[in-house]
Structure 1
Amino acid sequence: MKLPAAQQLQFTECYRDAVNQYFNDIFSRLPKNTQRAYISDFNEFAIFCQQAALPGFNSSFENNEQCVKEYVEMLCQSPLAYRTIKRRLSALSKFLGIAKLPNPIVQSVYLKDFIRLALAENEKYQFSQHQAVPLTVDLLELINERVIPDSLLELRDLALINLMFDGLLRADEVIRVCCEHIDRRSNALLVLTSKSDQAGKGQYRYVSPSTLDMLDEYMAEANFDPSHQCERDSADPRRINKGIVFRRVSNRGHALLPYDESASLKQSLKLEYSSIYRIWKRIAKLAGIKENITPHSGRVGAAVSLAEDGATLPEMQLAGGWRSPEMPGHYGQQAAVRKGGMAKLAKRKGRSGT
């Protein structure tokens, strides 16, 4: 495999072999999405170096430190999310390790402090300007009241959104949900892959009876053949027997596209983030919701709803699979505003509206 870097960067002989060996022996075995992310992140850095007239990484510690510093300054001025910037820097640090080059991201106290402070300022900006609009339980109930599904597509979309809310699921978690992961007796969902589950043991999330009913209705509709008015044969590739739950739907929205259930989870054709994003936008339009809700709105809104209902931080952590109380604490603070002193004052003085 060739080194996936922009053509304008000329890699010297001192580390070309080490990089090519890694990409030949290891990179090709990584998940395709991981490969694409690494390639994209490094090429973005290569393009920046070209535009800023920087030489890119080489054997000089000082040069690499300056390149990363200027890159961080540019990233923090961009609209990129905090986590995206962290991921890009992690990809650069990984590359420096692979190439056996001086790595100031790890070794320079000056650069580490510079990055930490720059990202801290960026995170404050992101929190104040770009937080996902919460899909609270009241807003979810409004969707379920207004959207009366009349196609397999809408049944799938409603079930997906409700499951994301119940389980506080991220987009990359819901696309991997399999039939075998749903325990109807315990109202539980096993989440096998999660950003906060580095050990890979899996986490259990709650699924409400109403969401289970939606899932059953969606799968029953998918397994029904309208042209013959009967159940699809068990060998029909458009039928859900096992494996991935949320699958692609035909253009007319009345049947699933053929799917290979024998494929492993890594090889199976799953929905992508763009598909989940369109689902949320489609349902919001059907429900007449003008707020800019996104796939992350369910996770945020569920956390806010839990806090408003009096859930403790440990309960919120368990519900969303967070490793630390920092994020649920943030959402709890957001919910507490409605119950704070000014909210009580407004109510007493008749300023709470109609």
Structure 2
Amino acid sequence: MSENIPVSAGFAHTYKHAVNEYFQDIFTKLPLNTQRAYVSDFNEFAIFCSQDGLAGFDDNMANNEHCIKRYVEVLCQSPLAYRTIKRRLSALSKFLGIAKLPNPLIQSVYLRDFIRLSLAENEKYQLSHAQAVPLTLDLLNTINERVIPDTLLEMRDLAIINLMFDALLRADELVRVRLEHVNKRSNTLLVLTSKADQTGKGSYRYLSSSTLAMIDEYINEANHEHGHDCPRPSDDPRRINNGVLFRRVANRGHALLPYNEAATGKHAATLHYSSIYRTWLRIARLAGIKEKITPHSGRVGGAVSLAENGATLPEMQLAGGWQSPDMPGHYGQQAAVGKGGMAKLAAKFKR
């Protein structure tokens, strides 16, 4: 059963014995949920190392410190909660202890201070994230009326905003959308990766015809030679033929960067959360919107707009891929406040 303990390819044979011994004598006696949490958290780290071109932990303190620092940087750019990040780092510390490897999480003052300050900033971000203004339908209409896209970057950004509203997408779902997941005939989007989807089957979300038109405009512009009245060759890596839909755009905003499905690390095909965050800032600036909107504004605003227009809880759950009615119910309550007794009283007396 020792193969259930994840060990990345860079791990030396000399300390596998310690891992196996812990697994046989202790790990199997832990609660199943604890076992699953440890395995899941370490597998996330192993996947990160693979994508970032890192070898993983070994018996070198400097290497382990570098791996964890890079991991913390990426975690703090993600939409993960503060507690989730702390739990993942705790799992790594546990594994280093089990494997009897140098543990910079305990031994490196530099790394401990780096993590402390990074998480403090992350906590501030999470607070501002929670206070983001919902992108309701009226605010989205304001954006679509005011923003007339002039570059490929602006076409991509506008399509992203509308897609996230329609499908109530989280940022980590948006960056994994592929061209083949969009079905124009049925106005649907297949979302294969979702925080709430434990089965891996995915869920379908609705896309409006106007959003589909924006996606088409973005793809057509990407596949056209800027400054030349001709399409890009079919084998041009800057074309969108398939694969990840929303990609990095060159500095001048008129062409996609060459796409490589197999690229990892900073050259990976998918966008980072920070890229999506900047997309929302750019659109808000172009539309002259003073309210603070962030990538989560689309999901919250979509839910609030559904509630304001009479959607039932099951309809809201289906639209956003929620397994529980708790969050849709919360957004429904938020929408109901604007139609409640005090709102009616204020309207009656023109307050």
Q: Same fold (TM over 0.5)?
A: yes
Give the aligned residue type for 1:284.
Answer: A
* C-alpha distance in structure 2 between counterparts of 1:349 and 1:186, whole Å: 47
**CA distances 1:316-354 after superposition (whole Å, capped 9, x unpaired):** 111111121111111111111100010111112222xxx
Partner of 1:169: 169
Partner of 1:30: 47
C-alpha contact 2:51 2:264 (8 A) present in aligned 1: no
Give the aligned residue type for 1:336.
Answer: A
TM-score between the two structures when normalised by the length of structure 1: 0.69
What SS does structure 1 have at the residue aligned with 2:205? Answer: strand
Partner of 2:206: 206
Partner of 1:289: 289
Aligned-pair distance for 1:86?
Answer: 3.6
The change in CA–CA distance for 1:21 and 1:185 in structure 2 (over 3 A counts) is: farther
Partner of 1:52: none
**CA distances 1:289-317 after superposition (whole Å, capped 9, x unpaired):** 11111111100111111111111111111
Partner of 2:87: 89
Instruction: Report the RMSD for the aligned CA atoms in angstroms.
Output: 3.9
The change in CA–CA distance for 1:319 and 1:342 in structure 2 (over 3 A counts) is: same
* C-alpha distance in structure 1 between counterparts of 2:257 and 2:152, whole Å: 12
C-alpha contact 1:232 1:239 (8 A) present in aligned 2: yes
**CA distances 1:91-125 after superposition (whole Å, capped 9, x unpaired):** 52575478569xxxxxxxxxxxxxxxxxxxxx9xx
TM-score between the two structures when normalised by the length of structure 2: 0.70
Q: How many residues align?
A: 281
**CA distances 1:230-271 after superposition (whole Å, capped 9, x unpaired):** 01110011111001110111100011111125x499995211
* C-alpha distance in structure 2 between counterparts of 1:318 and 1:153, whole Å: 31
Aligned-pair distance for 1:130?
Answer: 3.3
C-alpha contact 2:129 2:296 (8 A) present in aligned 1: no
Counterparts of 1:112-191 in structure 2 under 5 Å?
130-191=130-191
The change in CA–CA distance for 1:233 and 1:17 in structure 2 (over 3 A counts) is: same
C-alpha contact 1:15 1:99 (8 A) present in aligned 2: no
Partner of 2:196: 196
Give the aligned residue type for 1:193.
Answer: T
Aligned-pair distance for 1:228?
Answer: 3.0
* C-alpha distance in structure 1 between counterparts of 2:204 and 2:20, whole Å: 39
Aligned-pair distance for 1:18?
Answer: 2.0
Counterparts of 1:64-83 in structure 2 under 5 Å?
83=81
What SS does structure 1 have at the residue aligned with 2:338? Answer: helix
**CA distances 1:9-37 after superposition (whole Å, capped 9, x unpaired):** xxxx99993299999x967852449989x
Give the aligned residue type for 1:140.
Answer: L
C-alpha contact 2:133 2:291 (8 A) present in aligned 1: yes
Does residue 1:246 correspond to 2:251, yes or no? no
* C-alpha distance in structure 2 between counterparts of 1:300 and 1:285, whole Å: 20
C-alpha contact 1:19 1:98 (8 A) present in aligned 2: no
What SS does structure 2 have at the residue aligned with 1:281? Answer: helix
* C-alpha distance in structure 2 between counterparts of 1:242 and 1:264, whole Å: 15
What SS does structure 2 have at the residue aligned with 1:30? Answer: helix
Q: Which moved more, 1:218-227 or 1:83-92?
A: 83-92
* C-alpha distance in structure 2 between counterparts of 1:317 and 1:284, whole Å: 28
The change in CA–CA distance for 1:32 and 1:307 in structure 2 (over 3 A counts) is: farther
Gaps of 5+ in 2: 1-6, 24-38, 58-63, 73-78, 100-122
* C-alpha distance in structure 2 between counterparts of 1:228 and 1:301, whole Å: 40
The change in CA–CA distance for 1:128 and 1:204 in structure 2 (over 3 A counts) is: same
C-alpha contact 2:226 2:255 (8 A) present in aligned 1: no
Give the aligned residue type for 2:280.
Answer: W
* C-alpha distance in structure 2 between counterparts of 1:269 and 1:191, whole Å: 17
Give the aligned residue type for 2:311.
Answer: A
Aligned-pair distance for 1:207?
Answer: 0.5
**CA distances 1:201-231 after superposition (whole Å, capped 9, x unpaired):** 1111110000000000010011111343101
Gaps of 5+ in 1: 5-12, 48-80, 102-122
* C-alpha distance in structure 2 between counterparts of 1:341 and 1:219, whole Å: 48
Aligned-pair distance for 1:129?
Answer: 9.1
* C-alpha distance in structure 1 between counterparts of 2:141 and 2:49, whole Å: 37
* C-alpha distance in structure 2 between counterparts of 1:287 and 1:20, whole Å: 60
* C-alpha distance in structure 1 between counterparts of 2:223 and 2:129, whole Å: 44
* C-alpha distance in structure 2 between counterparts of 1:19 and 1:322, whole Å: 38
The change in CA–CA distance for 1:248 and 1:26 in structure 2 (over 3 A counts) is: closer
C-alpha contact 2:129 2:294 (8 A) present in aligned 1: no
* C-alpha distance in structure 1 between counterparts of 2:19 and 2:338, whole Å: 57
Give the aligned residue type for 2:307.
Answer: A
